[in-house]
Structure 1
Amino acid sequence: MAVFLGLPLVIYLVFVISPFVQAIYYSMTSWSGFDNNMPFVGLGNYVKLFNDDVFMISVRNSVTLAIFLPVITVILSLILATLVTIGGSSRGQIKGLRGAGFYRVVSFFPYVIPAVVIGIIWSQIFNPSNGLLNGILTGIGIDSAQDFAWLGDSRTAMIASMVVIVWGFVGFYMILFIAAIKGIPAETFEAARIDGAGRFRTAVNITIPLIRDNIQTAYVYMGILALDAFVYMSVLNSTGGPGNSTLVMSQKLFSTAFTKGQFGLACAMGVVLAAITLIFSALVFLVNRLTGGTEDVSE
């Protein structure tokens, strides 16, 4: 028993805990990343970070993504999953919309495309001079969209970036929720139908409570991705967008380490990012518990 428990624990300590502890130590040095000279500066890097206006903007942008992306993605995924599983005819057998299999494939397709490719595709769609979006909008009479730079305007750059990320992940979480809904006995939905519950009431009072753990997992994972979002933001706006409106912490960390050669300061950014991620996850679990997430709703 000790062997089976000890070996995974050792692997976890070596490959997970040890690098994190090293990062904390490096964050208290002025290490350049390219030599063995690591002058100890204590909490100096953290003081410098929280006095850096650009870094604080990146924190704000990352937190904004963590607030909105999980909510939007999870809600859209739940709606789509409900439609393709139990959103069909209100008569006869419980089933999804006609052609549900096709919708599953089409919705999941963006997830299999590499993030870099997704970023490039949408960069072309948002292109102000010959992009598809402006072409459609001007074609239906919205002349103000002509030559409008969606990624080059601080008012729309963050919203456009969020649209891209949601598009890339909504299909994956839809499939996750479909699998969860399929695990609910059909008799449960039949009983709700007999009692006169409509689709909305069935989704709110039956489907969501019974797949709550899946929703919590999806929310946490999507939040972690939102706090990173390095690939998407780098491809869509490599410089952080107009006025740093789309700059996220991971972008700032990367440029600090590999462009400026300030690995100690970059490690401090990584520690702050890890702390925010842990706080986010803890808040999700806490809210889930306080709202009855641990109660048995299967009866």
Structure 2
Amino acid sequence: MTATVTQPLPGGDTVPARRRRAGRWTFDKISFMVVFLGLPLAIYIVLVVSPFAQAVYYSMTDWTGFSPQQNFVGLRNFQRIFTDDIFMKSLRNNVVLAVVLPVVTLVLSFALASLLTVGGTMKGQTRGLRGSGFYRTVSFFPYVIPAIVIGIMWSQIYDPSNGLLNGILTGLGFDVFASFPWLGDERTAMAATIFVIVWSMVGFYMVLFVAAIKDVPAEIFEAARIDGAGRFRVATSITLPLIRDNVQTAYIYLGILALDAFVYMAALNPGGGPNNSTLVMAQQLFTTAFTKGQFGLACAMGVVLAAVTLLFSALVFAVNRLLGGKEVTR
């Protein structure tokens, strides 16, 4: 064992020299703090905090974006956007996306991940479906395609005149879909858009859940199977609670995507869809800034979008805590 050197104190007590030395700012400690804390913090402040602070300031001006004049108008821009029916419609569309998109994507991803890991035969060792590696590769493929390419591709598939979807449905005998405008009908525009985003994302989160499930000790699944638990019970009562943190992280990322969704919406419905049924805040922000030249007003929209995103993340964390997320242990 290593002997601990002690030094006397004025009252006769002693203090370990190792503890005394630990409080000193040595070169190694200072260099570590600078490289691994100071430098990243400085970069974060310059590239993230500073632009956001500037956006908050610009949101209280009438800046056009193309002139040096910036008259301070206070909260007038925020008053304008919250009384603007179009912006409020885009905000409601974002809320619908933030609620529906993560739920549908994560349910499908979790179901597929369970099939590929513990959904195989109930005899012998716990395993997934046969050929699970092939299914993972095929399901993950849409995620590697750029979002703008996916949007353009599906806009052609949804084309009412020469689209693949209407052609298949008509060939199957559904003549009502001969020229059906999937993206041009207010009843189906948002649902068709959500389907495209889910199709592009489900493979990635399936792979994420597969990795999380494989990290769960196999003995837990074996014990559940011995106790007579079926596949559905294992998935909902054992697998899901044990990967709760992964689900929470995935929900936050998908929620942030849903609150933006600019690329998908711009590719599928650049004008916001029929009666602005697919218009999102990012689209309205872009139009306000670069078409109308109202950068101050656009910055106010950006601040609202950032605030909604932070609120969404806080709600997810709060709900997870209320549901006992911190109490789940392996």
Residue 113 in 1 paired to residue 145 in 2?
Answer: yes
Residue 54 in 1 paired to residue 86 in 2?
Answer: yes
> Which residue of structure 2 aligns with residue 264 of structure 1?
296
> Which residue of structure 2 aligns with residue 42 of structure 1?
74
The answer to whether the Cα contact below 8 Å between 2:117 and 2:213 also exists between their aligned partners in 1 is yes
Report the Cα offset of residue 297 of structure 1. Answer: 2.6
Out of 77, 84, 89, the position equivalent to 2:116 is 84
Letter in 2 for 1:16: V
> Which residue of structure 2 aligns with residue 148 of structure 1?
180
Out of 104, 129, 136, the position equivalent to 1:97 is 129
Letter in 1 for 2:213: I
> Which residue of structure 2 aligns with residue 137 of structure 1?
169
Report the Cα offset of residue 146 of structure 1. Answer: 1.1
Equivalences for 1:200-279 in 2 at 5 Å?
A: 200-279=232-311
Q: Distance in 2 between matches of 1:9 and 1:173?
A: 30
Q: Name the stretch that deviates more: 139-148 or 230-239.
A: 139-148
Letter in 1 for 2:252: V
Residue 166 in 1 paired to residue 183 in 2?
Answer: no
Count matched residues.
298
State TM-score, norm by structure 1. Answer: 0.98
Q: Name the stretch that deviates more: 8-17 or 120-129.
A: 8-17
Q: Distance in 1 between matches of 2:234 and 2:246?
A: 17
Letter in 1 for 2:258: A
Say which SS state the counterpart of residue 88 (structure 1) adopts.
Answer: coil
Letter in 1 for 2:159: N
- Provide the aligned C-alpha RMSD in A: 0.9
Question: Structure 2: where are the runs of 5+ without partners?
Answer: 1-28
Report the Cα offset of residue 296 of structure 1. Answer: 3.2
Q: Distance in 2 between matches of 1:76 and 1:82?
A: 10
Q: Distance in 1 between matches of 2:178 and 2:40?
A: 58
Report the Cα offset of residue 288 of structure 1. Answer: 0.1
Q: Which runs of 4+ in 1 moved over 3 A?
A: none
Q: Distance in 2 between matches of 1:189 and 1:240?
A: 47
Residue 177 in 1 paired to residue 214 in 2?
Answer: no
Say which SS state the counterpart of residue 228 (structure 2) adopts.
Answer: coil
> Which residue of structure 2 aligns with residue 291 of structure 1?
323
The answer to whether the Cα contact below 8 Å between 2:241 and 2:328 also exists between their aligned partners in 1 is no
Q: Distance in 1 between matches of 2:179 and 2:42?
A: 57
Residue 70 in 1 paired to residue 98 in 2?
Answer: no
Residue deviations 1:135-192 (CA, integer Å, cap 9, x gap): 1212222221110000000110000000000000000000000000010111111111
State TM-score, norm by structure 2. Answer: 0.89
Q: Distance in 1 between matches of 2:40 and 2:162?
A: 54
Say which SS state the counterpart of residue 326 (structure 2) adopts.
Answer: coil
Letter in 1 for 2:140: F
The answer to whether the Cα contact below 8 Å between 2:159 and 2:181 also exists between their aligned partners in 1 is yes
Q: Distance in 2 between matches of 1:136 and 1:251?
A: 32
Residue deviations 1:60-118 (CA, integer Å, cap 9, x gap): 11111001000000000000000011100010111111111111011000000011110
Out of 170, 178, 196, the position equivalent to 2:228 is 196
Letter in 1 for 2:247: I
Letter in 2 for 1:215: V
Report the Cα offset of residue 289 of structure 1. Answer: 0.1
Report the Cα offset of residue 193 of structure 1. Answer: 0.6
Larger Rg: 2
Q: Distance in 2 between matches of 1:162 and 1:119?
A: 11
> Which residue of structure 1 aligns with residue 160 of structure 2?
128
Q: Distance in 2 between matches of 1:9 and 1:118?
A: 36
Q: Distance in 2 between matches of 1:114 and 1:274?
A: 24
Report the Cα offset of residue 11 of structure 1. Answer: 1.9
Q: Name the stretch that deviates more: 168-177 or 15-24.
A: 15-24
> Which residue of structure 1 aligns with residue 8 of structure 2?
none
Report the Cα offset of residue 47 of structure 1. Answer: 0.4
Q: Distance in 1 between matches of 2:129 and 2:159?
A: 35
